[in-house]
Amino acid sequence: MNEAGNQFTPANKLELMAREPYQAMPQESVTMGFDSKQGFELMQRGATLLSKSTLVPKEYQDNLPNCVVALNMASRIRADPMMVMQNLYIVHNKPSWSAQFVIACFNQCGRFSAMKFRWANRPADPDSIPDNWACQAYATELATGDEISGPTITIKMAKKEGWYGKSGSKWQTIPELMLMYRAGAWLQRTHAPDISMGLRTAEEESDIIESRRTDQGTFVADAQAKTETRVIDKMDILANKEQATNKPPAANDVAEQAEDKPAEANDDDSKAPTMSELIKGIKAAKDVDHIAELLDLARGIKRQDWRDKVMEAGRIRLKEMLPNTEIGVGHRPAPVADAVGAGDSSLFGDD
């Protein structure tokens, strides 16, 4: 019965339902993550969808675990998953960000003004790179109005840390951009490490660890990569070594002379391997470290044509062991800049 004492009938029940629309029970929203079963299932569904896309980088295609990791990182930093996938690199099995992504996140976090850069001793000639060329990133903290600045990055620092002299180093070809990337990354890490979750940039990891970038855009960095670089450099040294005082023999010289000639002829009749022994050792080598040792011994060979034979054997064997590595010729020494003059303590005094 209702308040007026009338009994409910099917007709007035329908009328009551028409006057009072049905209100659904509120549902709790589910957030992707590992902290709940629903969140984990939602993350798996999203990762499955992304892994089937041809627009994501190759390291995520048909790779559900990688997509789950990317979604988790995107959730933690509140970024778009696709943007995270495009800017997350794996170097030495460690995730790392691209430098431009770190700078972009810093600019859009809402806590600081846009990042800016100040320079000192910028060269007028791009081919002349002074050691005291310096860059510093800075910004304004919006809550307090204070200026914050990161560590000063110089070419001298890059050389001392070993970044500049590495084979294929971008510090030699685009030093201005590398200075900005490193200065920006270090400003973010010192004043807002939560933005990158403490991860270094891919450029930093590549500078710190001997690595190479594959055709898929990922970085390969391991002990073998370091040895590969060392072996290739040794082959370059052999290729560019000056001709010895003894000229190459005539075409009709017998090959037996080369086989019986030791790699180094010392007064104490050292047991240096012959050219043929070095070549046999290279052909039987099981790893690139062994090849590197044999190439070291080949540097003592006096005649250029014998060194060339050892180098060619090393190139062939190395190509068999590392089919995806380009084995070239030509040593790549790092350019030597003039020493830093006085005035390092006031790098930004006039800028």
- What confidence score (pLDDT) does residue 342 get? 35
What is the mean predicted confidence (pLDDT) over 164-168? 83
Residue 85, pLDDT > 90, answer: yes
Residue 53, pLDDT > 80, answer: yes
pLDDT tier at 215, thresholds 50, 70, 90 = low
- What confidence score (pLDDT) does residue 87 get? 92
Distance between CA atoms of residues 60 and 70, nearest Å: 9
- What confidence score (pLDDT) does residue 171 get? 94
What is the mean predicted confidence (pLDDT) over 226-235? 52
Highest mean pLDDT among 16-20, 59-63, 265-269, 313-317: 59-63
Q: Which residue has the higher pLDDT, 127 or 332?
A: 127
Name the pTM for this structure: 0.54
User: What angle do helix axes 99-108 and 175-191 make, rounded to 10 degrees?
Assistant: 50
What is the mean predicted confidence (pLDDT) over 92-117? 91
Which run of H or of E encompasses 279? Answer: helix 275-284
User: What angle do helix axes 37-51 and 64-77 make, rounded to 10 degrees?
Assistant: 120
Q: Which residue has the higher pLDDT, 30 or 151?
A: 151
C-alpha to C-alpha distances, 196 to 99, 141, 142, 201, nearest whole angstrom: 10, 18, 20, 9
- What confidence score (pLDDT) does residue 84 get? 92
Q: Which residue has the higher pLDDT, 309 or 19?
A: 309
Residue 184, pLDDT > 70, answer: yes
Weakest mean pLDDT among 42-56, 90-104, 122-136, 269-283: 269-283
Average pLDDT, the chain: 75
CA 18 to chain centroid: 65
Q: Which long-range contacts (CB under 8 A, 24 or more apart) does 270-274 make?
A: 272/297, 272/300, 273/297
Residue 252, pLDDT > 70, answer: no
pLDDT tier at 41, thresholds 50, 70, 90 = very high
pLDDT tier at 67, thresholds 50, 70, 90 = very high
Distance between CA atoms of residues 93 and 333, nearest Å: 29
Weakest mean pLDDT among 164-178, 193-207, 244-258, 328-342: 328-342
Residue 210, pLDDT > 80, answer: no
% of the chain exceeding 70 in pLDDT: 65
- What confidence score (pLDDT) does residue 256 get? 42
Highest mean pLDDT among 61-65, 299-303, 332-336: 61-65
What is the mean predicted confidence (pLDDT) over 21-33? 66
Radius of gyration of the chain, Cα coordinates, nearest whole angstrom:
32
Highest mean pLDDT among 52-66, 233-247, 304-318, 325-339: 52-66
- What confidence score (pLDDT) does residue 312 get? 86
Ramachandran quadrant class, 335 (left: phi over 0; alpha: psi -120 to 50; beta: rest): beta
